[in-house]
Structure 1
Amino acid sequence: MMTFIRTYEALFTRPTRLRSLLGWYTLSAVLQGVAYILFIPVLRSLFAGEGVALWFLLMLLVAIGALVLFTLTIRSSYMLYLDDLLDLTEAIGDRTVQLPLGWFDDRSTSRINQAVLADMDMLGRVPPIIAPNIINATVIPLIITITMFFFDWRMGLALAIAIPILVILVRWLGRVSRVAAARETDALEAVGARVLEFASLQSVLRAGGGSRGTDTVLASIEEAATENQASLDHRGRPINLSFIVTHAALVLALVLGVHAALGGELEWPIFLALAMFCLLLAQPLALLPPHISGMSDAQRSVDRVGSILHAPVLPEPATPAEPEGYDIALHDVSFGYDDAHPVLQHLNLEFPQNSVTALVGPSGCGKSTILSLIARFYDVDGGAITVGGRDIREIGTARLMRDTAMVFQDVYLFEGSIAENVRLGRPEATQEELEAAARRARLDEVIKRLPEGWDTPVGEGGNQLSGGEKQRVAIARAFLKDSPILLLDEVTSSLDGANEAAVSSAIRELAEGRTTIMIAHRLSTVTHATSIVVFSETGRIEDRGTHEELSARSGTYSQFIAEQRAGANWKLA
């Protein structure tokens, strides 16, 4: 329990008062136990024909006190943890944007979704539901068991013998529940990943025909159902045994009590009161194991949320360094997404300030990796990357992102209007600045023909706009941001002729006066570059120069030109 409390409270940035709430719940349970005990003198006085008003009033006052205290604590826990869980959800969101891209995999979206929805619900149930149920189911029976020893040691002993057995069974249940919860979570994350995959790849699946991807979804659901059934079976054994032990102890206590009462060793009023206690204890003791199992599920939620909040992020400098200019250099850089397959090895490369450098080479040679490292989506395994002579790890991610604009081949727009998506580049921009950025990105042509203009909703991911229109929104955003570093990843590779011409023209204007690095597979794009870097399949630099210089040489670039011209001359006869 204490381990859970520590890990639970560690999730929150401010004190959560969980221990204080547990203390008030315990005091309320003690008062409930005392109210039960006071029923003994009430019943004894009633059987003896004595006045019961004083004892009854005292019992009533204690019971009311327990009820009021419990109600206030429940109310306090709900009000407090609604705020705390909102803060926790925001903390998950803040942490998510700080995590390196290497943390994300095919299950990461499902994992974050699980943490924000299901885990928040589970953690929110701990203070007002799970905790008081466990405390009531342990404190009240413990008080009554101790009381029984004072009136009939045999009845007390019958209940006391069950305590160590129940402790063993509860520990067993806790271990089983932790393992079962972990397996259930993994299975549910797999289902979430497969469902998201199924939804996002409908165009591909429908084009492929066949089962349309339902096989993988159904298989993951079936596996989750199997894990859930196995979890119920494993948890059921200690729960059923604890149910048997609890009721056997209560029955034994009642039998011993009847024997003592019949033998004149126990007063009948006291026996009736103790018998009533046994009946009252049956339900909370029977429900204690399921509550313990719920605590194990809550611990799993704590662990899962903690795995996000405490996931290692890229280190940030205490005092960010100021770059002296915006030339970029890679110094003996090595990097791999895993240890077994390095992508870049001892790479040295310079990008002068206010120049346009095109990266050309076969797929998989590391071009996109270079852009990701410059943007510090990952940290290098060896060497360093500098901007203005300062290591980007010393500059800090916030400053680096402020100085960098990026446009990618696959543009994802946030659900909202065109204006809202462009304003992401600089939220405080005026309408005049917004319109100027749109003109330079050739986005104004799109806005003029849309009925709602700037207020046109782009849809989820931008699905209401064409690929070329989304690119223009992204370029307008980059114009508005006006950063000195520009990273472009195959911006025009999937556009039609008209959009390619418009986007290419906007890109050339956007690149003016910036340190621009672009990945391009179109000859029309790279010919305007100040310098072209040609990579081999192994990720090493094969050649570097202008378009004219490289065209005169044999090698990968010559092959690139030949393929581009062959494709350009292809036509239907």
Structure 2
Amino acid sequence: MADNDPKRLLAAKPKLSLKRPESRGVMLGLLRRILQENGRLFVREYAVAVVCLVLVAGTTAFMAWIMRDVIDEIFVQGNRAAIVSLPIVIFLAFAIRGAASYGQGVLLARIGNNIVARYQRRLFTHLTELSVDFFSENRSAHLAARINQNVSGIRDTLNLTVTSLARDLLSLIFLVGVMIWQDPLLSSIALLAGPPIAIMIGKLARKLRVATREMIDVNARVLASMQEAAQGITVVKAFTMEAPLRERIETLIQTAETRSNRIASITERTTPVTEMVAGLAIAGVIAYSGYRAIVYGYSPGAMFAFITALLLAYDPARRLARLQVQLERAMVNAAMIYEILDLEPRQPDPSNAPSLAIDKGEIAFRDVNFGYHAGEQVLREISFIAPAGKTTALIGASGGGKSTIVSLVQRFYDVESGAILIDGQDIRQVTKRSLRSKIAYVPQAPYLFEGTIRDNIRLGRPDATDAEIEEAARQAQAEEFIVNQPQGYDTPLGENGVTLSGGQRQRLSIARALVRNAPILLLDEATSALDTRSETLVQEALELAMKDRTTIVVAHRLSTIVNADQILVVDGGRIVEGGTHAELVDKPGGLYARFYALQTRTQGDDIVALA
């Protein structure tokens, strides 16, 4: 199927993309940043871990060094005292090594877990500070899946660096020291294997950077697609979308598998070459040392100690050979985390911005122009005043700009030109937090969060008492269904309140706005999901809530706005009419009059009775 073409699917990448860390300079800079941000926080813990790793490295080298005495003293010279002393020393060395390995393992795990937790907090805090347009441009499911994969990259980078330097590198140095002490000539033969392996690793690492980033992106898309399918399962089943979605996911999974196999191939490409080169070096050393022992009578203890050191050195050397490959993968993940952390909010508060001071709550739009994308104007020269303590209704065809006006009042976006004032204060010159704390908002599509019903209402004002929460629920006509839930107000909600009807979710959203008790109330199609009975009940609650508050109401149903203090008709991004219901309904040829006539024909006398 064309829709499942792998190239087309993979071309639809998310817009979040910064400079790829494909040069050595960028990678070194990233490593310095990670060390600067985290190193000093764990100086003591890392110091103790390094001591433990040094003990591991030292005891490993000691085991090779003492083999000379074991062979010569016990097996050659038959020293009875050595039969007791040397095994005790070897046992103590293993005991120290075991304790040190446990200590460094626990310490590095704790440090790593703390780093992951700190970056998770930091990421969430930063994401909540980013502008709404960031989330419009990046799919939330893909973003969550990518973060879940990337967040361990910084921990892995630090742990790999510490363990490789303090354990593997020191072990190798100590063991090479033992080898040189025993036989410099043989040591030089064994070390010839190092340069060709290092050159090969460097070439493979460059290929791995690009492959790793591609794999992370594809895996994130797989997880995101599964998450979206789970969230929209009712739509999936209603439209029998199971088969096409399975095909789409299968394509992504197959692509992810291919990318993962490529990375495995690149990563493991070092193994056969390393094994063959190291095997050749070890075989040569054994043959030459055996020849010297047989022909020239060299000490078997010295030869055995050398070979033991050489064999023990193989493991840390192999790990160090793979270090760059492993580090590249970890740092690609870390770099993708910093791509998010380095994003600057597009709507920063001005330096030393004051808090919004509400006196009356008047909202004024002055020649506002706005578009979500360059060259696409949504609002054109919008000017109006929403009087303090009064209700202003916005009505018009879909796509005319009504909801955009509500978004701009909350400064989800900044205007291109003109200004929005609240009690004479330009909302761009005050802190966003103080602005939004003075606003209660009921969106068209209600959203409920993980937790209980009580928790969701309390999100409107965290310091609200249980009595205030229950009163807000009663005003929103929500208590009648809340008390019938298994645990009442303490009933846990499914994902986005999936166990509740649309009208019930909307009434909880209205209760959340009511408990906020803010001087400005924004209602964006707040009753659109309610049936006629619930709409009537909630409308009574909203009329009580709107009393003495500056309210902007977006509505399609005229029955919800006929009593508004002023009604503004928005069409094509402009305000084309304004007045009260009585003034507009009798305006010959007016757009509002046409809306009214259309709805009265479809709804009978409902509006007439309310008017």
Task: Report the TM-score range of the alignment, normalised by the length of the smaller protein.
Answer: 0.7 to 0.9
Q: Give the direction of change, closer, same or farther, for the CA distance of 1:413–1:21 in structure 2 (3 Å limit).
A: same
- Contact in 2 for aligned 1:471/1:503 (Cα 8 Å): no
- The question of 1:213 aligning with 2:245 is answered yes
Query: SS of the residue aligned with 1:359?
Result: strand
Q: Give the direction of change, closer, same or farther, for the CA distance of 1:64–1:339 in structure 2 (3 Å limit).
A: farther
Deviations 1:44-85 (A, max 9, x none): 445456675777777766665454444323222233443443
Q: 2:279 aligns with which of 228, 231, 247?
A: 247
- The CA distance in 2 between the partners of 1:528 and 1:145, in whole Å, is 89
- Contact in 1 for aligned 2:53/2:100 (Cα 8 Å): no
Q: How far off is 1:302 after superposition?
A: 2.0
Alignment size in residue pairs: 568
- The CA distance in 2 between the partners of 1:342 and 1:22, in whole Å, is 60
Q: 2:234 aligns with which of 175, 180, 203?
A: 203
For residue 348 of structure 2, what is the aligned residue in structure 1? 315
- The question of 1:540 aligning with 2:574 is answered yes
For residue 527 of structure 2, what is the aligned residue in structure 1? 492
Query: SS of the residue aligned with 2:248?
Result: helix
- The question of 1:420 aligning with 2:420 is answered no
- The question of 1:176 aligning with 2:213 is answered no
- The CA distance in 2 between the partners of 1:273 and 1:421, in whole Å, is 69
- The CA distance in 2 between the partners of 1:171 and 1:128, in whole Å, is 21
Which piece of structure 1 moves more, 198-207 or 379-388? Answer: 379-388
Q: Give the direction of change, closer, same or farther, for the CA distance of 1:58–1:451 in structure 2 (3 Å limit).
A: closer
Q: What are structure 1's unaligned runs of at least 5 residues?
A: none
For residue 480 of structure 2, what is the aligned residue in structure 1? 445
Which piece of structure 1 moves more, 410-419 or 448-457? Answer: 448-457
Which residue identity lines up with residue 248 of structure 2 in the other structure? T
- The question of 1:91 aligning with 2:122 is answered yes
- The question of 1:281 aligning with 2:313 is answered yes
Query: SS of the residue aligned with 1:379?
Result: coil
Q: How far off is 1:501 after superposition?
A: 1.6
Deviations 1:85-138 (A, max 9, x none): 33333333323322222222554334334534x445565566667852675333
Q: Give the direction of change, closer, same or farther, for the CA distance of 1:21–1:549 in structure 2 (3 Å limit).
A: farther
Q: What are structure 2's unaligned runs of at least 5 residues?
A: 1-26, 606-611
- The CA distance in 1 between the partners of 2:52 and 2:324, in whole Å, is 17
Q: 1:16 aligns with which of 38, 42, 54?
A: 42
Q: How far off is 1:19 after superposition?
A: 5.4
Identical positions, percent: 29
The aligned runs of 1:318-329 (5 Å cut-off) are: 318-325=352-359, 326-329=361-364
Q: 2:391 aligns with which of 340, 347, 356?
A: 356
- Contact in 2 for aligned 1:419/1:455 (Cα 8 Å): yes
Deviations 1:132-190 (A, max 9, x none): 26753333223333443444334222333322333323333332332222111100111
Q: Give the direction of change, closer, same or farther, for the CA distance of 1:347–1:235 in structure 2 (3 Å limit).
A: farther
- The CA distance in 1 between the partners of 2:250 and 2:77, in whole Å, is 70
- Contact in 2 for aligned 1:359/1:520 (Cα 8 Å): yes
Q: How far off is 1:403 after superposition?
A: 0.8
- Contact in 2 for aligned 1:343/1:366 (Cα 8 Å): yes
Which residue identity lines up with residue 479 of structure 2 in the other structure? D
- Contact in 2 for aligned 1:328/1:351 (Cα 8 Å): yes
- Contact in 2 for aligned 1:438/1:476 (Cα 8 Å): yes
Which residue identity lines up with residue 269 of structure 1 in the other structure? G
- The CA distance in 2 between the partners of 1:246 and 1:141, in whole Å, is 14
- The CA distance in 1 between the partners of 2:288 and 2:574, in whole Å, is 87
- Contact in 2 for aligned 1:184/1:227 (Cα 8 Å): yes
Q: 1:148 aligns with which of 157, 179, 182?
A: 179
- Contact in 2 for aligned 1:106/1:193 (Cα 8 Å): no
- Contact in 2 for aligned 1:361/1:534 (Cα 8 Å): yes
Q: How far off is 1:543 after superposition?
A: 3.0
Q: How far off is 1:340 after superposition?
A: 5.1
For residue 11 of structure 2, what is the aligned residue in structure 1? none
- The question of 1:136 aligning with 2:167 is answered yes
- Contact in 2 for aligned 1:468/1:503 (Cα 8 Å): no
Query: SS of the residue aligned with 1:521?
Result: coil
The aligned runs of 1:545-560 (5 Å cut-off) are: 545-551=579-585, 552-560=587-595
- The CA distance in 1 between the partners of 2:522 and 2:529, in whole Å, is 18
CA-atom RMSD in angstroms:
3.4
- The CA distance in 2 between the partners of 1:345 and 1:168, in whole Å, is 62
Query: SS of the residue aligned with 1:471?
Result: helix
Query: SS of the residue aligned with 2:41?
Result: coil
- Contact in 2 for aligned 1:29/1:136 (Cα 8 Å): yes
Q: Give the direction of change, closer, same or farther, for the CA distance of 1:486–1:56 in structure 2 (3 Å limit).
A: same
- Contact in 1 for aligned 2:176/2:309 (Cα 8 Å): no
- The CA distance in 2 between the partners of 1:389 and 1:127, in whole Å, is 52
Q: How far off is 1:498 after superposition?
A: 1.4
- The CA distance in 1 between the partners of 2:277 and 2:590, in whole Å, is 81
Q: Give the direction of change, closer, same or farther, for the CA distance of 1:213–1:74 in structure 2 (3 Å limit).
A: closer
For residue 237 of structure 1, what is the aligned residue in structure 2? 269
* TM norm structure 1: 0.87
Query: SS of the residue aligned with 2:497?
Result: coil
* TM norm structure 2: 0.82
For residue 38 of structure 1, what is the aligned residue in structure 2? 65
Q: How far off is 1:270 after superposition?
A: 1.6
- The CA distance in 2 between the partners of 1:398 and 1:367, in whole Å, is 23
Q: 2:190 aligns with which of 159, 163, 169?
A: 159
Query: SS of the residue aligned with 2:496?
Result: coil
For residue 109 of structure 2, what is the aligned residue in structure 1? 78
- The CA distance in 1 between the partners of 2:177 and 2:486, in whole Å, is 79
For residue 302 of structure 2, what is the aligned residue in structure 1? 270
- The CA distance in 1 between the partners of 2:408 and 2:153, in whole Å, is 38
Q: Give the direction of change, closer, same or farther, for the CA distance of 1:338–1:66 in structure 2 (3 Å limit).
A: farther
- Contact in 2 for aligned 1:29/1:139 (Cα 8 Å): no
Query: SS of the residue aligned with 2:378?
Result: strand
- The CA distance in 1 between the partners of 2:415 and 2:271, in whole Å, is 51
Q: Give the direction of change, closer, same or farther, for the CA distance of 1:169–1:341 in structure 2 (3 Å limit).
A: farther
Q: Give the direction of change, closer, same or farther, for the CA distance of 1:254–1:349 in structure 2 (3 Å limit).
A: farther
- Contact in 2 for aligned 1:250/1:282 (Cα 8 Å): no
For residue 554 of structure 2, what is the aligned residue in structure 1? 519
Q: How far off is 1:408 after superposition?
A: 1.1
Query: SS of the residue aligned with 1:15?
Result: helix
Q: Give the direction of change, closer, same or farther, for the CA distance of 1:61–1:445 in structure 2 (3 Å limit).
A: closer
Q: Give the direction of change, closer, same or farther, for the CA distance of 1:123–1:21 in structure 2 (3 Å limit).
A: farther
- The question of 1:296 aligning with 2:331 is answered no
- Contact in 1 for aligned 2:442/2:522 (Cα 8 Å): yes
Q: How far off is 1:450 after superposition?
A: 4.8
